[in-house]
Structure 1
C-alpha cells in the first residue's frame, strides 16, 4: 500500500542505516525528547511495594498503557516518542515503571521479570478505575515489556475487561531462552555487558536491604542471563532455575489465549532475538494476532524512515491503534 507522500507501510531506512547494531544504538545515542508527565503517581501493591506511574492526560476518551524494556524506565526516548505520537493522535497515556526501575529501589526482595503480569494487571486496573472513565484502553510494550503485555493478555483470555481493545508491541523476546542464547553470543557482548553491569548494581543495592537473603559471591564473574537468572531471578520469583523461568514466562505459551487484536513487530535483523521469537505458528493459529517482520530495524530501533516527525514504529503503532475503533 502506497500513501500520498510515496511512502509504504513497510519500514524503509536508508542504506547507511540498515546495520542492525546501528539501528539498535542510534536512538539511545542521538534521540532526545523533552516531554514531562502531567502527573505522577505511586501505586501501592498488595505486597507492600510500589509502582511509579507517569500520566499524560489531555482529556481524551482513549488511553494507551505503555510498558518499557529490560532495565529501561518510563522516560526512555523510545517510550517518550510513543507517548508524543499517541498524544498527537488523540490518546492519553499511562507509562509505568517496573519495580526498581523508577530511580528508587523497591521494597520487596523481588525485582521484576519478563513475566511480571501481576504488576501490569494492577496498572491496568488503576487505569480502568480512573475517574475520567476511559471508553477504550490499548496496551503497548517494548522488548521485555512487550512480552509481559502478551503474557497478560493470554492469561486474562475471556476475563479481559471489554474496554481493552488491543495491543501493539515491538522487538519482543517471545522465546526467552532463545533470546538469552542470542545475547550470550560474542557478537552481542556489548549489549550483554551493559545489561549485566546494570543488573549487578541492582543486586548490590538489594543485598544492602536483604543481606541474609541475597548472596553476592561470584556476582562480578557473571557474564550471561543464564548465570544471573539461575542465581537471582529464579529463586526470588519462585522458579526452579533459569530454564524454568524462561519456559514459564515466554509469551509464545500464552498467545493462544489472546482474545483482542495484537500486533507484534519484530525486525528480522534484531540482534536480541532467536528464531523462536518470530511466532509464525502461533499467529497462524490465532486470528487476533498479527506478526510483521521488517527486514531491518534492529532492537527497538526503526530509525531513518520518519513519518510526520515520528519514528516508523510510532507511526505504525498509531495506524494499528486507529484500526481498533
Structure 2
C-alpha cells in the first residue's frame, strides 16, 4: 500500500479558542504551557567523542522501557536542548508509551562549549548520520525512530534524502516538526517585522555570546566587530555559520543545506509537519506532493504556530499543554515499527 493512502490517519490538531494566531500559539507553548502529564523527565548524560576530536553530549531519559522497545531520538532546534519545551513533551510521551528516549545535543548546545572551530548548522547530515549510527550500534535490539524539531528536522530530512535506501539500515521512520525546509524562505521571514524584533533577538542573545567564546578558543576565526554588528540571522550566518562549515556565504549555506530539494529521494517513512500559520516558515515555501516521493507524508494543519500546537486543558481550556503534537507525531512514528 502506498504510504499516502493511510499516512494522515490520526493526525489532527485544533488550537484553543483563547490562543488565536501563530505568534500566540508559538509564544505560549514556549513560555507558559504544561510540558508533561507525568513526572518531569530525569536525564542521564553521556559524552560521545566525535570522529574529528570534538564531543557531543547526549541526554538519556531515565524512565523505564522494555529492552526491545523502540528508541526515539530527538534532534533539537536552533539553540535548543533537552530542556526545551518540546523535548520535555516528547520525553513525557515516550515515558507514557514505554519508549526509550534520548536527546543528542548539537555541538555547543549542552551548556558546555565544544572544542573544534565549528558549531552546528541546519544541513549537517553527516553529523546526523554519525549520531544515528552510534545509537543503532549501542541499541541493536531496539527499533530506532528519529524526530527533528525546526533546524533539527531540516537536518534529519536532509540526511534521509542524502541516505536514500541506506536510511532503512538506521531507522524505521523519521519526522520533522516545523522545519524550515526552504532555509532561504525561513531565514528571510524571521528577519522581518515582529519576527526580527522578538525571535531574532532571542536567538542572537545566545548565539552571539557563544560565537565570541568560540573566537576566544580560536583567535582569528572571524571578524569580532562585524559579528557584534550583526542584527539578523542572515548577517550572523554570513560571518559565522557559513564560513565555519564550508559554505561560501549565507546564500550558499541556505541553498545547499535545505532539505526541500531532496525530499523526493527519501526512501524511509517520513513525516513533515508544518503549521500554515508558522511565523518562521512561510506557507508558500512549504513542500507539496510534487516535491516528495511516496515515502513522505505532509501534514500541514492551518494552525499551530512554530513548534507550538498548544491544546486546551481544564474546565475552561486554561492552562494549555503541548502534549498533543508529540502524541500525534510519536504515534505516527511508532506505527512504522511494526
TM over 0.5: yes
CA distance in 2, matches of 1:148, 1:277: 17
How far, CA to CA, are the matches of 1:16 and 1:27 in structure 2? Answer: 13
**Which of structure 1's runs of 4+ aligned residues deviate more than 4 A?**
none
Partner residue of 1:148 out of 152, 155, 174:
155
Contact 1:142/1:300, CA 8 A, preserved across alignment? yes
CA contact (8 A) 2:276 2:282 kept: no
- CA apart distance, 1:90: 2.7
Contact 1:252 1:282 in 2 (8 A): no
Q: Tell me the distance in 2 between the aligned counterparts of 1:173 and 1:258.
A: 17
CA RMSD of aligned residues (A): 1.9
1:214-246 CA deviation, whole Å, 9 max, x = no partner? 320122321111111111111111101100000
The change in CA–CA distance for 1:204 and 1:126 in structure 2 (over 3 A counts) is same
Corresponding residue number in structure 1 for 2:124: 116
TM-score by length of 2: 0.88
Distance (whole Å) between structure 2 residues aligned to residue 15 and residue 319 of structure 1: 25
Residue in structure 2 matching 1:279, options 274, 287, 290? 287
Partner of 2:41: 35
* Residue of structure 2 equivalent to 1:3: none
Deviations 1:180-202 (A, max 9, x none): 11001112120011112211111
1:168 aligns with 2:165: no
Distance (whole Å) between structure 2 residues aligned to residue 163 and residue 234 of structure 1: 28
Cα distance 1:262–1:233, how it changes in 2: closer, same or farther (>3 A)?
same
In structure 2, the partner of 1:46 is: 51
2:310 maps to 303
Shift of 1:282: 4.5
Shift of 1:59: 3.0
CA distance in 1, matches of 2:329, 2:168: 21
| Worse-matched range after superposition: 20-29 or 96-105 | 20-29
**Aligned pair in 2 of structure 1 residues 282, 112: CA closer, same or farther (>3 Å)?**
farther
Indicate the residue corresponding to 1:314 in structure 2.
326
Q: Which has the higher contact order (CA 8 A, sep 6+)?
A: 2
Deviations 1:154-207 (A, max 9, x none): 111112243511112210100000001100111212001111221111111111
Query: Normalised by the size of structure 1, how large is the TM-score?
Result: 0.91
3-state DSSP class of the match of 2:225?
Answer: coil
**2-side partners of 1:204 and 1:170: how far apart?**
30
The aligned counterpart of 1:4 is none
Q: Which residue of structure 1 aligns with residue 211 of structure 2?
A: 203
Gap regions ≥5 residues in structure 1: 1-7
2:88 paired with 1:83: no
- The residue aligned with 1:323 is 335
Partner of 1:184: 191
Distance 2:142 2:211 in 1: 41
Kept after mapping to 1: 8 A contact 2:67/2:142:
no
Match of 2:14 in 1: 12
Instruction: Tell me how far 1:277 sits from its aligned partner.
Output: 4.0
SS of residue in 1 equivalent to 2:224? coil
Deviates more, 1:70-79 or 1:104-113: 70-79
Distance 1:111 1:9, change over 3 A: closer
Deviation per CA, 1:291-324, whole angstroms, max 9, x where unpaired? 11111110000002569x7622112112212321
Which range is displaced more, 104-113 or 197-206? 197-206
Structure 1 position 60, deviation (Å): 4.0
